[in-house]
Structure 1
Amino acid sequence: MHLSRSRLVVAGIAGIALVAGSSVAAEAASPARTSKIESKRVDSVPTPKLGWYKCYEIAECATVKLPLDYDKPKGAKTEIAVLRVKAKDQKHKIGSLFLNPGGPGGSGTDIALNAPYFLSESLLQKFDIVGVDPRGIGASANIKCFTSVKAQSAVMAKLNIAFPVGAKQEATYTAGAKAFGKACSTTGKPLSGAMSTAEVARDMDVIRRAVGDKKLTYLGFSYGTVLGEYYANMFPDRVRALAIDGNLDPRAWVGAGSAGDRILDARLHSADGAYRALKEIFKRCDRAGEKYCAFAAGNPEANFAAITRSLKAKPVVVTDEEGTFTITYADFVSAELSALYSPYAGENTMQLAADIAALIKGGSSPAVAAARTSVLDRIRTARATGYDFPYDNSFETTMGVVCTDGTHPKNAASWPAATAVRDRQAPYFGRAWGYIDAPCARSTWTVRDEDAYRGPFNKRTSAPVLLIGNYWDPATNYDASVAMSRVLPNSRLLTSDNWGHTAYGTGACATAAIDNYLLKVALPAKGTTCAAEHQPFTEPIETGGEPATATTMSATPGKRLPPVAAPRPVSILTGGR
């Protein structure tokens, strides 16, 4: 969908050193080769003829039928949707730039359609922007795990909370996770067993050929980094430029070896990244004082803990002319996690904490009335969507990839204990992140993709890979970007100190580095750390105005942030990014 036009906040510009493209060529010597098995799989598929037609006023659309199983190229097919926004300068076009927004479950056609609103003009001039909806997702043939909305709603009613707290909720959630996994393993077939990231990488390689590119140019965000990492290792000699922003470690993603007995967040450590960011916000809020931080009075960290204890003991009930709403501990934590996704994470998390604290205190003061309005606005935005007509397969698309890619614990009943451990290791967010893959328990999600890729992830590519990670990412832990820079032999790590999820658009330094790499295959200098345009609590509350949201703030005038999708808990307090 299109993003609405909103106010932009632009800060100062940081510079960046670039390495000339000629020096990159030496680094890219002796790439690994695509294996004979993968070559046979994808190259045996005839190059599709994309019947482009005009769509959405600014784009062209097409669909193509590709093998459900690449070992049987003449067998059953699945329909894949493709959208492109053509380069403004066709005469000097470099080729196609493929985009993926993450998720898994994010729509490639949507992010391509929105490219004019967030990509730099230099990229829009020189690349056809191409988005592919991964199989089962978006405008491609959809996965559908239930025979009706009614059947789906009965199961989702057990899962439609931020995360379970207490034995009763845990039992209900576990039952829902089992029912969901069984539904996708039966009614969801055959797509539920053919949605692995490896299959999407194969689809992308065939479509790369169909649009006329000899090698792939790619920009992926969040889970889209996994897709990029898979492509780099499955087709290492077919890479022109591959920029992946907000990295997950694919070795942890697949749960190889003993890691297969651990829940997803015990491997990815997303909760640790979120907690690290929140701890830093507490410190900066306390240092900035009440003039700059809405939650600075007293000890912010201790006061935050007091709020969570209060909500665990007694949820807050908020009433106005439109109804009565109950805000639980899990709702609050999930809303704080959502707030961490914004470049204005500091201001947003602490304002939410201050609002909830005011509601807990109660009374009829103007501050309490303002807090009530703010919180209810969040609730109503989120509750505008739900599992009603038409059929919404968004959770199925996420699980279709997560469960098929990885090796997960055997029994769904093991998640409460495992998430409790994670919550001790990463307070507040261990359970919030930990329950995401509960439907993937091997005893209930029984459908498999025998052609899923499980590594290795250390292939030398024909061109260098640019990895981008930011210190304070609450979803894709910065440590994963560091780890991947050590695993991929022909890669370079670009670090950003921005807040929120992923770095593109949050600062001129990081954005320019990514743009120049994609245009010229020119790497930033080793050890480059980019300064973001905004750091928390730098404007007085009374003069700073309303902070920009995650989708409006960009370092580039006239642009917004990319519409990145990431798997995270659903909360009644947030409509999502």
Structure 2
Amino acid sequence: MPLKTHRLLTATLAGALAAGTIAAPALAGGKTGVDAVPTPKLGWYKCYDYAECATVKLPLDYDNPRGATTEIAVLRVKAKNQAAKIGSLFVNPGGPGGSATQFAYDAPYWLSDPMLQRFDVVGVDPRGIGASQNIRCFKSVKDQTAVLDLMNVPFPVTTAEEKAYVQGSKLLGKACSTTGRPLTGAASTAEVARDMDVIRRAVGDKKLNYLGFSYGSALGQYYANMFPDRFRALVVDGVLDPVAWVGNTRQVIDGRLHSSDGAYKALIEILKRCDKAGEAKCVFAEGDPVRHFRQIAEHLKKEPLALPDGEGGTIQVTYAVFIGAILGSLYQFDAGEQVTAIADQVADAIEGGSTAALVKRARDARASRQYDFPYDNSAEAGTTVICTDGRFPPNASDWPRYADRREAAAPYFGRSWGWIDSPCASRTWTVRDEDAYTGPFTRRTAAPVLVVGSFWDPATNYRGAVSSSRLLPNSVLLSSNNWGHTAYGSGVCATTAIDAYLLTGKPPARGTVCTDAPQPFTSAVSTMAETKRPPIAAPLPDSILIPAKL
């Protein structure tokens, strides 16, 4: 399906939360809430060559199980060895806004063979997202475009961009609080956890098996705390601290999750390693890479690059586009090589050298862009989850100040992360999910939870994995030295540890640290080219070095 190309709310990262507390009956089960919903019969049909699909109508409000419904899409790839099947493995790619049905369909390309042999891989598209009944905050593509165009930059830098972005944020918040109802008021992460529990029954599993990445780690932790005795094995990889995710009305999301701090730490480490590796191994090693990078950034703030695109047009490489591309590169297992290649290409162009590499990068990205029809709800769907899950400051007009504060704490990336939740200002995003879950996140679960964190993750800061594991009494922290976002598929150690836990129910020893992942500017990085890595729905402003608007 064609995808609209508004980059803006690629800013939909892994964000904060909402007001309200969950009703005790829904949390505990009983005669109301989730347990009052009869186990649905899934009418599976063959789809997409090797998968099976189904849709199911579930309560819009679990306090009223026989009331209005919303349609949820489910896809599974059946276990290769049905005779030895353990059960179903529910997967979520993150976002928020990523399609779990697409993720499950892609499982043969990223999940290890022992897992594919023993589990039916199941994806449940969250409410409002993917193939489930969609959230629509606007009456038409025209109305949507008028608002999203105000926010069509990786992140605002100039005063004029800030003014437009604030205006767009207010309009988006108001649209989702009115036209987007009632689904925007019933699409918090807690509702997805409830849907998943009903579908767990529908596929015939007594206990849930779950593997969630990035924002999917929030969903996993919600399920673990809402249904602490209903899972067999649960893994969260690339972890958001759920208390920070819920947040408060005094801080923007990045001030709680510290994503920008993780990105800055990773960037500086790469530049220092580049310097140590030397010009033979790192293309950006000449001189002082840390200082050189700062000079490039400052130059682009004052004077963006204007490059001919070879088709009679111009490519504008602004400061925000450059930083967006750097952040996107930090998500990759070969972050060191990618980051320094982009920095070197931009430096060459600024200094009057070749622009061929940058132009090719932009033209390749342009070729992948699609026509603007039909209606693409990805921006508003992901933002709905962030805004209805969390608590936020009241005024969107205060976001420039909040972003400046984050930029001071984490240069380059503070503004990039600092704007992602501006539509959530509580005076303009007024729709609420009264059954959003806000805690506790400290419940003792019947089975252990495996919490996986990567030292150099630029989105879900490693400290989030540490704090989340401390919240859950029956959890084990697995740490990894890999680069990029999330650990699964980055090295043998982390991947086999996760697989072994899901297959046996036994987590790795406490304190396990995986140190076998490829490192920047070593020959080992090239060996990762054929590695199966999950296609995470990455929460980042812009991963491609091209203008947000062509």
Contact in 2 for aligned 1:99/1:112 (Cα 8 Å): yes
Task: Determine which of 256, 271, 278 is the counterpart of 1:289.
Answer: 278
1:529 paired to 2:501:
no
Task: Determine which of 535, 538, 542 is the counterpart of 1:570.
Answer: 542
Question: Secondary structure of the equivalent of 2:539?
Answer: coil
Task: Determine which of 78, 86, 90 is the counterpart of 1:98.
Answer: 90
Q: Which residue of 2 aligns with 1:501?
A: 485
Question: Secondary structure of the equivalent of 1:519?
Answer: helix
Contact in 2 for aligned 1:59/1:83 (Cα 8 Å): yes
Deviation at 1:575, TM superposition (A): 11
Change in Cα spacing, 1:403 to 1:303, as seen in structure 2 (3 Å) is same
The CA distance in 2 between the partners of 1:480 and 1:381, in whole Å, is: 37
Q: TM-score, normalised by structure 2?
A: 0.92
Deviation at 1:377, TM superposition (A): 3.8
Deviation at 1:380, TM superposition (A): 2.1
1:116 paired to 2:88:
no
Name the amino acid aligned to 1:342.
Q
The CA distance in 2 between the partners of 1:378 and 1:302, in whole Å, is: 30
1:239 paired to 2:231:
yes
Question: Residues 135-534 of structure 1 correspond to what in structure 2 (within 5 A)?
Answer: 135-255=127-247, 259-322=248-311, 323-363=313-353, 368-377=354-363, 379-380=365-366, 384-385=369-370, 388-534=372-518
The CA distance in 2 between the partners of 1:293 and 1:146, in whole Å, is: 48
Name the amino acid aligned to 1:490.
N
Change in Cα spacing, 1:139 to 1:308, as seen in structure 2 (3 Å) is same
Q: Which residue of 2 aligns with 1:43?
A: 35
Structure 2 regions of 5+ residues with no counterpart?
A: 2-22
The CA distance in 1 between the partners of 2:69 and 2:260, in whole Å, is: 38
Change in Cα spacing, 1:143 to 1:427, as seen in structure 2 (3 Å) is same
Name the amino acid aligned to 1:565.
A
Alpha-carbon deviations, 1:143-174, whole Å to 9, x = none?
00111100000001001101111211111100
The CA distance in 1 between the partners of 2:355 and 2:393, in whole Å, is: 46
The CA distance in 1 between the partners of 2:172 and 2:429, in whole Å, is: 8
Structure 1 segments of 4 or more deviating over 4 A? none
The CA distance in 2 between the partners of 1:156 and 1:408, in whole Å, is: 21
Question: Secondary structure of the equivalent of 1:74?
Answer: coil
Q: Which residue of 2 aligns with 1:21?
A: none
Question: Secondary structure of the equivalent of 1:140?
Answer: coil
Alpha-carbon deviations, 1:78-103, whole Å to 9, x = none?
00000001111111111000000000
Contact in 1 for aligned 2:328/2:544 (Cα 8 Å): no
Contact in 2 for aligned 1:355/1:375 (Cα 8 Å): no
The CA distance in 1 between the partners of 2:201 and 2:403, in whole Å, is: 44
Q: TM-score, normalised by structure 1?
A: 0.88
Q: Which residue of 2 aligns with 1:18?
A: none
The CA distance in 2 between the partners of 1:277 and 1:394, in whole Å, is: 28
Q: Which residue of 2 aligns with 1:31?
A: none
The CA distance in 2 between the partners of 1:146 and 1:96, in whole Å, is: 37
Alpha-carbon deviations, 1:240-290, whole Å to 9, x = none?
1001100000000011xxx32211111110000000100100110000000
Contact in 2 for aligned 1:507/1:554 (Cα 8 Å): no
Deviation at 1:233, TM superposition (A): 0.3
Alpha-carbon deviations, 1:317-371, whole Å to 9, x = none?
00042121111000000100000000000000000000000111114xxxx1443
Name the amino acid aligned to 1:181.
G
Question: Secondary structure of the equivalent of 1:261?
Answer: coil
Question: Secondary structure of the equivalent of 2:523?
Answer: coil
Name the amino acid aligned to 1:102.
G
Question: Secondary structure of the equivalent of 1:317?
Answer: strand
Structure 1 regions of 5+ residues with no counterpart?
A: 2-33
Deviation at 1:567, TM superposition (A): 2.2
